[in-house]
Amino acid sequence: MYINEDISIKLLHSKHSEELFTLTESNKTYLRKWLPWLDFNKTVKDTENFIESAIAQYQGGFGPQYAVFYKDKICGVNGFHRIDKINKIGILGYWLGESYTGKGIISLTTKKLLNFGFYDYKLNKIEIRCASENNKSRGIPERLGFKYEATLRQCELLYDKYVDHAVYSLLSIEYDLLEPY
């Protein structure tokens, strides 16, 4: 799906396994600062298993996960970690390879996912949760008009330490009041 002349997203597919694994491996030191799952992603098969679970999640109606492309190369992932169908809440998550940061890629792809969440999935609320000290990640919801809600204390084990998460949210009524993207 076209975002602009350089950026596109495609539903995760098994054909992305090798390229996504290579991206993850080549950025392991950079990503390790904030992503706790890297030690479990040791082979292309591990990446393929993640993609299979993302496909099953999507097919079950619990939200899509996308491979993010910059100039036709996979540069990261953006999508719904989960959708709570009863309460109509979606939680977005994203990551990029280091050389792709600072180009507006996640901001633009997240805007597209907000449209999906509020219009296609009829969500009432979309959340973004990120480590409290991860200022780059926190900048995304702040730029997109999300409201800071809370800090969840020591809610994620990041290898050898617990980290707090900042929780941001955007309500459908607030989204409708934002300037169009």
Residue 56 lies in a domain: yes
Residue 2 lies in a domain: no
Q: What is the model's pTM?
A: 0.93
- Pairwise CA distance, residues 137 & 128, whole Å: 9
3-state secondary structure of 69: strand
Range of the domain at 74: 7-177
Residue 57 lies in a domain: yes
For residue 61, give the CATH number of its domain: 3.40.630.30
Render each residue's pLDDT in the chain as its tens digit; 181 residues. Answer: 999 999 999 999 999 999 999 999 999 999 999 999 999 999 999 999 999 999 999 999 999 999 999 999 999 999 999 999 999 999 999 999 999 999 999 999 999 999 999 999 999 999 999 999 999 999 999 999 999 999 999 999 999 999 999 999 999 999 977 765 5
Please say whether the beta carbons of 94 and 76 come within 8 A: yes
Number of domains in the chain: 1
